[in-house]
Amino acid sequence: ILISPFFKLAIYGRYYTRPDDILPASTQSGMSMKHIEHEFGKGRIWPYYLHIRAMPEALPQGTIFNPDFFQEAQKVLLQLINSVPNTPRTNITGAVFANGKPVPYELLQMALDEAHPLYDTATGEHLRNLASIFLSSSKDATF
């Protein structure tokens, strides 16, 4: 079965950077994935993950959770979408960009504020989940 090696990822919850770590090239699944990768490109089969950690001296506010960082990160992701072939906007997901659209810093800030009406909505819950997954607890890095 072609997807059986991905079961390892689901069980252990780890991401690998090298395809051979989960699909040895000598297996039928590995050879099939190499063929698909060759035909459609690496990003289609082995998605790119970006981990951005700010240098302490680059964080005058002590965190990447600020409007300036969000705006700059969104610019970088838009450049990535425009310059990397076969990269639909909807494939970019993270704290600053989701479902093909930039996530406004102010909206995420409102979703995290228990006193704000957005907090008790489905959108607020979704945004908090997004932040908990893609922002480090110290808010000095994003994935």
Q: How far apart are the first and last CA of the chain?
A: 30
Closest listed residue to residue 107, CA positions, set 97, 58, 142, 138:
97
Q: In this structure, are residues 33 and 41 in contact, taking their beta carbons and an 8 Å threshold?
A: no
Judge whether residue 18 has pLDDT over 70: no
> Please, which residues bridge with residue 141 across strands?
53
3-class state of residue 47 by DSSP: coil
The pLDDT of residue 79 is 84
Contacts of 91 (CB under 8 A, 6+ apart): 47
For the segment 65-93, what is each residue's pLDDT rounded down to a tens digit?
888 888 888 888 888 788 777 777 887 88
Contacts of 107 (CB under 8 A, 6+ apart): 118, 127
* pTM of the predicted protein model: 0.63
Judge whether residue 5 has pLDDT over 50: no
